């Protein structure tokens, strides 16, 4: 799948150059090629540990499923399981999975077994969501280019809407410190407390550091 990975990096570069600045994001493609050698754990566990948190997971399969990792039947399956568990718990990352439908002729029984695992994995995935098929690496390039561009626009709009909701909530729901703890030196100031607790009140307190009023202002803040 080297050609698909190369296409993906070029697509990310194009999106970064064309629309990333406008929407305030930057795409960085990270895979097992980005890890460094390490000892003391399973190879896939080392890969998982070195890959930083990500926002989008893109999986690609064709005729081979892969080799067992100790936790799953292949590295891709283990990575997908981790991403899917995270999606169910936290709502991220966005998962996009693609299966190459380009014809090929199996030459060994191992080829047949590998393809069977791919088909079973693909079928199970459609019980959890929507995957996509493509026919060859050039078709992959066109499809993923369109999908990623649409996704980035969608995520950018969602982020902008959430920001606007937060700003609107802050404007419509101002914070008032009442009720606040009554300190001993506030006894007899109920009138002032009521006045400062009114949303429409504008009060200026003129004081120096010696008369106790500075404590009153600090409690409200």
Count the Cβ atoms, other than its own, within 10 Å of residue 97: 22
Q: Could you read off the pLDDT of 98-118 as tens digits, one per residue? A: 999 999 999 999 999 999 999
Report the DSSP beta bridge partners of residue 56. 94
The answer to whether residue 93 scores a pLDDT higher than 60 is yes
Contact between residue 32 and residue 75 where contact means Cβ atoms under 8 Å apart? yes
- Predicted confidence (pLDDT) per residue in 24-40, tens digit: 888 999 998 899 999 99
Interatomic CA distance for residues 136 and 4, integer angstroms: 9
Sign for the pseudo-dihedral over CA of 23, 144, 123, 44: negative
Residues in the chain: 221
Roughly how many angstroms between the first and final C-alpha of the chain, as a whole number?
59
> Average pLDDT of the chain?
82
95 near 54, Cβ under 8 Å? no
Whole-model pTM: value is: 0.71
């Amino acid at each position: 799948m080297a050609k698909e990975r190369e296409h993906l990096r070029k697509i990310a570069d194009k999106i970064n150059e064309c629309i990333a600045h406008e929407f305030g994001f930057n795409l960085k493609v990270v895979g097992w090629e980005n890890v460094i050698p390490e000892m003391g754990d399973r190879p896939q566990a080392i890969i998982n540990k070195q890959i930083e948190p990500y926002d989008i997971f893109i999986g690609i399969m064709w005729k081979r499923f892969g080799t067992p990792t100790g936790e799953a039947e292949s590295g891709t399956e283990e990575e997908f399981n981790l991403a899917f568990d995270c999606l169910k718990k936290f709502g991220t990352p966005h998962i996009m999975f693609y299966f190459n439908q380009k014809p090929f002729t199996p030459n060994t029984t191992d080829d047949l077994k590998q393809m069977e695992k791919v088909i079973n994995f693909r079928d199970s995935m459609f019980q959890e969501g929507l995957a996509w098929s493509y026919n060859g690496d050039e078709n992959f390039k066109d499809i993923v280019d369109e999908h990623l561009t649409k996704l980035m626009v969608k995520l950018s709009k969602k982020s902008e809407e959430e920001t606007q909701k937060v700003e609107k909530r802050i404007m419509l729901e101002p914070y008032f410190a009442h009720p606040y703890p009554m300190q001993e030196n506030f006894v007899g100031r109920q009138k002032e407390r009521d006045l400062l607790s009114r949303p429409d009140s504008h009060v200026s307190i003129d004081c120096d550091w010696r008369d106790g009023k500075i404590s009153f202002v600090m409690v409200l803040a």
